[in-house]
Amino acid sequence: MSTDCTLAFDLPDGTVAEVAVTTLLNGGYAGRSQDDVAAHVRELAELGVPAPSVTPSLYPVSPYLAQQTSTVPAQHGRTSGEAEWALVVTGTDVLLTVACDHTDRALEVHGVAWSKNAGPDVLGRKAWRLSDVAERIDEIELTAWADGVEIQRGTLAELLTPQYWVDRLRDLGLLKPGTVLLSGTIPMHHGVEQFASKWRVELRDPATGDIIECAYEVTRLPEPIG
Tell me the per-residue pLDDT of 26-44, one tens digit each, with 9 for 90 and over: 998 888 887 777 776 777 7
Helix, strand, coil percentages in the chain from 3-state DSSP, rounded to 5 = 20, 40, 40
Q: Tell me the per-residue pLDDT of 94-116, one tens digit each, with 9 for 90 and over.
A: 999 999 999 888 888 888 888 88
Q: What is the mean pLDDT of the segment spanning 120-133?
A: 98
Q: Tell me the per-residue pLDDT of 142-160, one tens digit each, with 9 for 90 and over.
A: 999 999 999 999 999 999 9
Residue spans of beta strands (DSSP E) within the chain:
5-10, 16-21, 23-28, 57-61, 66-67, 71-74, 79-80, 83-89, 94-101, 103-104, 121-123, 128-129, 141-146, 149-155, 179-182, 198-205, 210-220
**pLDDT surpassing 70 at residue 92:** yes
Give the percent of the chain with pLDDT over 90.
Answer: 73
Of residues 16, 189, 193, the one with CA closest to residue 95 = 16
pLDDT at residue 52, rounded to an integer: 75
**pLDDT surpassing 60 at residue 185:** yes
Whole-prediction pTM value? Answer: 0.91
What's the DSSP call for residue 224? Answer: P
Give the separation between CA 93 and CA 17, rounded to whole angstroms: 9
pLDDT at residue 1, rounded to an integer: 38
Q: Which amino acid belongs to residue 190?
A: H
